[in-house]
Amino acid sequence: MARSKRTRTGKPFCDMQLHSASHEDICRNRNSFLLFVFLLLVLCGTQVALTQTDKRATRAHKSSYIEDVRGSVDKHKSLYVFRYENMRSKNFKLVRQHFREGVGDAPSRILLGKNKLMQIALGRSAEEEYMDNLRQVAKCLTGGSVGILFTSCPLNEVEGYFASMVEADFARAGSIAPRSVIVTKDMLLEFPVSMMEQFRKLGMSVGIENGKIVFLSGREEWRLCKEGENLSAEKCKLLVHFGQKISEFKVNLVCRWEDGEFEELE
């Protein structure tokens, strides 16, 4: 009679295989069951948190931010709500650098984002407002392109700086073209023939003639965009290739608050 093969532990080899197979089946069934429960909860409309967030830490962070905003109100003479257009990091960095020194012991400070928390910090009603008329400031904190400047700089300095703060920049996809842009065949001569395929992918009808990029069908010019047009990503890339900065980064002051007095500036 043939004896079954045994392992070093003395257990039959066939028993080890059966034991391993049953363990894999158990793991597979458990994962299938967990997936079934998860899908069932989703279908029933139950919100399933895939990550664990400490609500106490989030609440503490919000409270800290609110106190930070109110502390900035106490430290500075006035505050301004501003609205910006076509902001890029490099442009807004200039604004921060200009107001970094500030006046007195407290340097000026700029806050962007978290509009709801800033509204809560300032107060959204006469009963909630941190100081007189700050509820009027809170009403101006709407939309995604607003911020607050806390400063002790004189009014004429703040208004004068923002009035001159206009920087030409390339347009972004989705923006509205402020003017029409037309390129001529002479402007194509600046580009090597290797750019032809890229221009074609971006929507331009071009070809090669006598070793130079030219418009097809004998065209003399090409309109990159039309005034009032919603710019696509392709057209924005063409504007960059031809060096056409049709957008402007600028900051408009919406309102001013100082010592309980509120003033609209827009």
Under the banding of pLDDT at 50, 70 and 90, the label for residue 263 is very high
Beta carbons of 159 and 88 less than 8 angstroms apart: no
DSSP β-bridge partners for residue 251: 84
Where is pLDDT greater, at 35 or 21?
35
Cβ within 8 Å of residue 252, ≥6 positions away? 82, 83, 84, 85, 162, 266
In a domain, 87, yes or no: yes
Residue 3 in this model has a pLDDT that exceeds 80: no
What number of other Cβ atoms are within 10 A of residue 66's Cβ? 17
Beta carbons of 265 and 230 less than 8 angstroms apart: no
pLDDT for 1 equals 47
In a domain, 43, yes or no: no
DSSP β-bridge partners for residue 103: 106
Domain total in the chain: 2
Are 163 and 68 within one domain? yes
Query: Once rounded to an integer, what is the mean pLDDT over residues 195-222?
Result: 92
The domain in which residue 74 lies consists of: 63-170+249-264
This prediction has a pTM of: 0.65
In a domain, 38, yes or no: no
Are 93 and 201 within one domain? no
User: How far apart are the C-alpha atoms of 240 and 69, rounded to whole Å?
Assistant: 39
Are 150 and 81 within one domain? yes
- Residue 36, SS3 per DSSP: helix
Burial 193-220 (b: 16+ CB within 10 A, else e): eebbeebeebebebeeeeeebbbeeeee
How deeply is 128 buried, as exposed, middle or buried, from its count of CB atoms within 10 A (0-12, 13-18, 19+)? middle
Are 68 and 91 within one domain? yes
pLDDT digits (tens, 9 = 90+) for 75-85: 999 999 999 87
Are 91 and 192 within one domain? no
- Work out whether strand 247-258 and strand 261-264 pair parallel, antiparallel, or are unpaired: antiparallel
